[in-house]
Chains A and B, each alone.
Chain A
């Protein structure tokens, strides 16, 4: 197991290097000059040159990349061209908010999808199955931000505004600066709607998948055998069938993480949450190269790491994969 984890960790290195290169090259090709944006009306040739030198913007692109990568590894992700604050610090402050949102929405997706998928498969072609599949069909067809808007209408504008439409209250112990609201319940109130908005679509996709793979698994001979030897229905479904049906579901979950991260950007923007998504979109609008790089990099890195975790979950579900 340890060897396998180590092997997977080493495999990540070239991927991460390529990601950094692509992010860097893409950001270089963005039209628009950050120095002009920075100086604004006070633009003059002399100051512009100074700033270009200070940020290394006058060197060849590949040299800029190597310098950047070197600093990156040392934890220096550059400073925001507009605010002067270190990018890594800003990004790390925002990361927990996004991770909380993603984790919670994944949990919501699983809590809905696992029972719905099992019931759909076991009661195939009955009304509980039709309900589950129809609701799932609606769920996969509705974009996150529209779910968010519907939730806003229902709970922030309707129902006397029981849930806040925007802003954030931090979990105890995670407040990044001196002044911020801290409370567990406050946090839950703020994260609930965004997490549901993000989780519903994933729940729908996972339900459809789990139902399909459960249908396949419960027709296999080992499930028949398990039933024939007198096992109760519950262990047959949960231990024999579900564990095997979960394998394709976990694969797709890994792929869905990419959509979750993207969806988080949208949902955070909609609910004005202080996460990575709003950070990234604000940086894009302000054309802050350093911040956009940091955002793209941390997002892509998070994606790679979560995919690694999904791969490791695999080996738990299906020990055969370890030896492959």
Chain B
């Protein structure tokens, strides 16, 4: 990654970096950094990814879901929130392919629109956690000392709580609401509980990378710390970060659905799968399908991200296969 078309002064660094990296690996240091060695492993990873059936299935599911969420307004036959008192609890029919709920709202439209909250929360909470957690981990690991202990104690504090409990407590503080603001609150709550995962992961990788001789070589050449972190430390941590992010989206979607199920997620009228499932449980006896659709939607979405994440991990870190 670091050697294409660099000026001459960079050369010794990359050459020694590559060579030492190879030499150091058998010692059992966990640097899953095929990305950083050269371009070939990256191309190879992509090739492996395309060959993996699970990854391809996962990717297809994810792409379809993203399209559904983007074009929900076009795809949904009706409004997900307008109720029709004349057609409550309608069985599946041509008019309502998935039937209607207790307010006569079209279930198909609700399931289609529900994908928005799930995907938006799943992706943005993880991205937010990534943007806070990764720098924290980089700084803690690279600088060390007092900053390291302060940051890591703070992370331990978050980890001292069971994930759901902390997310619940944060949502109580935020007061769940509907619409975009309500969704942003859920994103914030889930992001906070996911930050330590990245901070710890990155810190661990940084601790082993910063002792490598190619980093010392960078320093000897007079490179500044921010530059070393950006150009040499971060790329070496990328593989586990990418895998954790994909699998993390799956977890975040489950946490979102769970919060909604407990009544602490995005509030109605915004359609959300977890809330729909909860609301329809009262009618499960006579209208079982109403609970099945939102549940299946959550399941397929999470499955898509998990399959893709698994394939990605196998592709980036073949030692695990």
Contact = CB atoms under 8 A, between A and B. Distances in A.
A292 interface: yes
A259 B263 CA distance: 18
A304 B160 contact: yes
Contacts of B76: none
A19 B172 contact: no
Interface in A288-306: 292, 296, 299-300, 303-304
Contacts of A199: none
Contact of A26 (B169, B258, B281, B320): B169
Contact of B302 (A143, A266, A270, A292): A143
Interface in B227-283: 250, 254, 257-258, 261-264, 274, 277-278, 281
Q: Categorize the interface residue count of chain B.
A: 35 or more
Contact of B162 (A149, A153, A259): A259
B277 A146 contact: yes
Interface in B36-78: 54
Interface stretch (B5-13, B102-110, B136-144, B291-299): B291-299
A266 B310 contact: no
Contact of A138 (B54, B156, B303): B303
A150 B288 CA distance: 10
B131 interface: no
A256 B270 CA distance: 31
A153 B284 contact: yes
Contact of B306 (A141, A261, A296, A300): A141
B175 A31 contact: yes
B173 interface: yes
B307 interface: yes
A169 B306 CA distance: 38
Interface in A120-166: 137-138, 140-146, 149-150, 152-153, 157
A296 B175 contact: no
B160 A262 contact: no
Max count, chain A CB within 10 A of own CB: residue among B160, B163, B302: B160
Interface string B141-173: 000000000000000110011111101111011
Interface in A270-288: 270, 280-281, 284-285
A285 B262 CA distance: 10
Given A137-B303, A137-B307, A146-B298, A258 B172 contact: no
A262 B157 contact: no
A269 interface: yes
Contact of B320 (A23, A212, A259): A212
B295 A262 contact: no
Given A30-B172, A149-B281, A266-B258, A141 B165 contact: no
9 contacts: A149-B291, A258-B162, A259-B163, A262-B162, A262-B164, A266-B164, A281-B262, A296-B169, A304-B160
Given A143-B257, A143-B298, A303-B162, 13 more contacts: A22-B157, A31-B175, A137-B306, A140-B306, A145-B258, A145-B261, A146-B295, A149-B292, A153-B288, A258-B161, A258-B165, A262-B168, A265-B262
Interface of A: 15, 18-19, 22-23, 26, 29-31, 137-138, 140-146, 149-150, 152-153, 157, 212, 257-259, 261-263, 265-266, 269-270, 280-281, 284-285, 292, 296, 299-300, 303-304
